[in-house]
A and B are shown apart, each in its own frame.
Chain A
Amino acid sequence: MKTIIATALLMISLIGPAWAEPLLVNGAGATFPYPVYSKWFDEYAKMNPDIHINYQSIGSGGGIRQVSELTVDFGATDGPMNDEQLSKAKVKLLHFPTVLGADVPTYNIPELQGELNFTPQALAGIFLGTITKWNDPEIAKANPGAKLPDKLIIVVHRSDGSGTTYVWVDYLSKVSPEWKEKVGVGTSVNWPTGLGGKGNEGVAGLVKQTPYAIGYVELIYAEQNKMPYGAVQNSEGKFVKASIAAVTAAAAGASKAMPADFRVSITNAPGDKTYPIASFTWLLIPEKIDDPKKGKAITGFLKWMLKDGQGMAPALLYAPLPKEVVAMEEKAIGQIKY
């Protein structure tokens, strides 16, 4: 019996090194970029079998809380952390934009052919509840020739807290002083009007089924589900329909005024071809990483993500970063100490 145990122990000790556990790096946060993140972590693990990045899409709020407490190695968020949140974190956290997303207005008007144009005032008015009918002059003037029905608009918004909502209301706050004062910006807000649907699928379901409804969903979701969505007038007065190119253009337009910590809102960004309701999504990385192995793995991943990773984004309908931002981020990686 003893010999059997001894042999077994010896064998375990011999094959032990071959079984060496890969270095586990834990991250948690935003759900919106989850498809592209899981693709990236998967591809990166294929090239670096000794590193395994484990990401849990628990929501931006959870990601911020967990990385602030250092219960995970990195976080991810759809809205940048504010100064108060940063000061409460146990370590200094750095923001690294990864990809871009956009929100689109989607609607259901049975008798309408073709696509609608929305002015910022129209969107703000509809969601504030001051524009109540589809044939309102503010909507009609941007859509000459369209036959707009004399029907009440049914507004649909997200009921769950989400980055999608954050981007939408951030945009409305920029274009409407009334929105800024009455409602403000957050992942959940006190909506002046409308019905709440849970998740993109909840909003999409309500809009699809309710005649004369309007809601907002992520561009990716609208594309994948072939939902009609309207063009939005940008800050130069042009009506632009959301697309990967128009979203990257928004980031390029905003990159001239990019702050060093990358905490920037790019809604209503300048530029002719810019789609105005777009946003970065960020990774949150501690400035000082105690475990040098993890530090090396994380910075290695960031460098790879900025080069090869970006190429994988459009296939999954995420807009890649403009090259100006990539260059700035490559420099910023140097701030991470380990």
Chain B
Amino acid sequence: MAMFRRPGVSPADRLFRATVFTVAISVLLITGVIAFELVRNSRLPIEKFGWGFLWGTTWDPVAEQFGALPFLYGTLVSSGLALLIAVPVGLGVAIFLSELAPRWLSDPVTFLVELLAAIPSVIYGLVGIFVLVPLVRNVLEPFLSGALGFLPLFRGAPYGVGMLTAGLLLAMMVVPFVVSVSREILMAVPHSQREAVLSLGATQWEMVRIAVLPYARSGIMGSVFLALARALGETMAVTMVIGNRPEIRLSLFEPGYTMAAVIANEFTEATSDLYVQTLIEIGLVLFAVTILVNALARLLIYNVFTKVEVRE
């Protein structure tokens, strides 16, 4: 606590420091309490299944045999697919809005994008069921299996619901996050950066690539993390279109299941202690995966970007 009693610091400053320190610590505290409670309330399945829970593929509530792998797989694949689509699209929109679009266009589009981020996920789910699913079944899946059917990713019966639809819907949901945050970051890049590059005769594309993107990279990565976090934890919309089948299939046309979705689906009617605690353990796995994926992504970014020399 010595940090609060440095000489020459006014009492008001000390109070301010103490306040923000408490608020900052509370974040750690809340995370710690969540982790502790998740572990404490999943003791039964941890004892019964051990680490095997992570690679078990059976999910049988009647026989009380539980494995988390299909849900783990579904969560990672659907979120990965969503990022694969959302990041290029979102970044493209953000670059257009901040660098190219005239004011009369960029302002209303920005407003609409922020509106998209505020739509409740159940609405996205309904759009998914009534618009996206028929579109995927009747148009996209027949097209993909025709054009790319030699890949095992695009084989099988076009159900409409499944991993592909879930990835598309998640992409729709996270694009506004990528756009909104990236645009703010791009706008904050000083004009001198752009002018310097343009004065050397760079094209607009070169200006964005050389002067703007490297300057804004950490902020853009922040928007990607935000999108990833939302995609990993998204529940309602995903469960409405993913098909809810706890199986691991290579084809993106096949139904899958995610961790958040199985908790939401089965928690209310889970009666036995083991069943309830297993669902809580799924929550624990999701918690761990979220932390792990974020840490890995940060490590990756750190390694890639510290090797690139940027003049700021």
Counting CB contacts under 8 A, is B172 at the interface? no
Measured CB to CB, the closest approach of chain B to A46, in angstroms, equals 30
B62 (CB) vs chain A CBs: closest residue: A184
A209: B residues at CB distance < 8 A: 129-130, 133-134, 137, 160
Are A190 and B58 within 8 A (Cβ)?
yes
- In the complex, which of the residues A161, A198, A202, A206 contacts B269, with contact meaning CB atoms closer than 8 Å? A161
Measured CB to CB, the closest approach of chain B to A141, in angstroms, equals 27
Counting CB contacts under 8 A, is B271 at the interface? yes
Which of A1-9, A57-65, A119-127 lies at the binding interface? A57-65
Counting CB contacts under 8 A, is A217 at the interface? no
Measured CB to CB, the closest approach of chain A to B274, in angstroms, equals 12
- Cα distance, A267 to B245, chains bound together (Å): 27
- Given A65-B271, A162-B269, decide whether A190 and B61 contact each other with a Cβ distance below 8 A: yes
Chain A interface extent, by class: 35 or more
A196: B residues at CB distance < 8 A: 243-245, 255, 257, 265
- In the complex, which of the residues B61, B134, B239 contacts A188, with contact meaning CB atoms closer than 8 Å? B61
Chain A 44-61 per-residue mask, 1 if CB under 8 angstroms from chain B, else 0: 000000000000001111
Measured CB to CB, the closest approach of chain B to A149, in angstroms, equals 15
Counting CB contacts under 8 A, is B287 at the interface? no
Chain A 167-210 per-residue mask, 1 if CB under 8 angstroms from chain B, else 0: 00000000000000001111111110011111000100110011
Counting CB contacts under 8 A, is A70 at the interface? no
A213 (CB) vs chain B CBs: closest residue: B159
- Given A196-B245, A197-B244, decide whether A189 and B61 contact each other with a Cβ distance below 8 A: yes
Counting CB contacts under 8 A, is B63 at the interface? yes
- Cα distance, A290 to B60, chains bound together (Å): 39
Counting CB contacts under 8 A, is B303 at the interface? no
Are A195 and B255 within 8 A (Cβ)?
yes
A198: B residues at CB distance < 8 A: 239-240, 244, 264-265
- Cα distance, A159 to B60, chains bound together (Å): 13
Measured CB to CB, the closest approach of chain A to B165, in angstroms, equals 11
Are B60 and A190 within 8 A (Cβ)?
yes
Chain B interface extent, by class: 20 to 34
Are B130 and A205 within 8 A (Cβ)?
yes
- Given A186-B62, A187-B271, A190-B60, decide whether A206 and B265 contact each other with a Cβ distance below 8 A: no
- Cα distance, A62 to B129, chains bound together (Å): 28
Counting CB contacts under 8 A, is B54 at the interface? no
A65 (CB) vs chain B CBs: closest residue: B271
Measured CB to CB, the closest approach of chain A to B311, in angstroms, equals 52
| Contact sample, A vs B, 21 pairs, CB 8 Å cutoff | A61-B276, A62-B268, A85-B271, A154-B159, A159-B244, A160-B265, A160-B266, A161-B270, A163-B269, A183-B62, A186-B62, A187-B270, A187-B271, A188-B266, A189-B60, A190-B62, A195-B244, A198-B239, A198-B244, A206-B129, A210-B137
> Residues of A at under 8 Å CB distance from B?
31, 58-62, 64-65, 85, 152, 154, 159-163, 183-191, 194-198, 202, 205-206, 209-210
Q: A190-B61, A196-B255, A196-B265 are in contact. List 19 more A-B contacts (CB 8 A).
A: A58-B268, A59-B269, A61-B268, A65-B271, A159-B261, A160-B265, A160-B266, A161-B270, A163-B269, A183-B62, A187-B269, A187-B270, A188-B266, A190-B59, A190-B60, A195-B243, A196-B257, A202-B240, A209-B133
> Residues of B at under 8 Å CB distance from A?
58-63, 129-130, 133-134, 137, 157, 159-161, 239-240, 243-245, 255, 257, 261, 264-271, 276
List the 6 closest pairs (A to B, CB-CB), nearest first. Answer: A161-B269, A196-B244, A59-B268, A159-B244, A184-B62, A190-B60
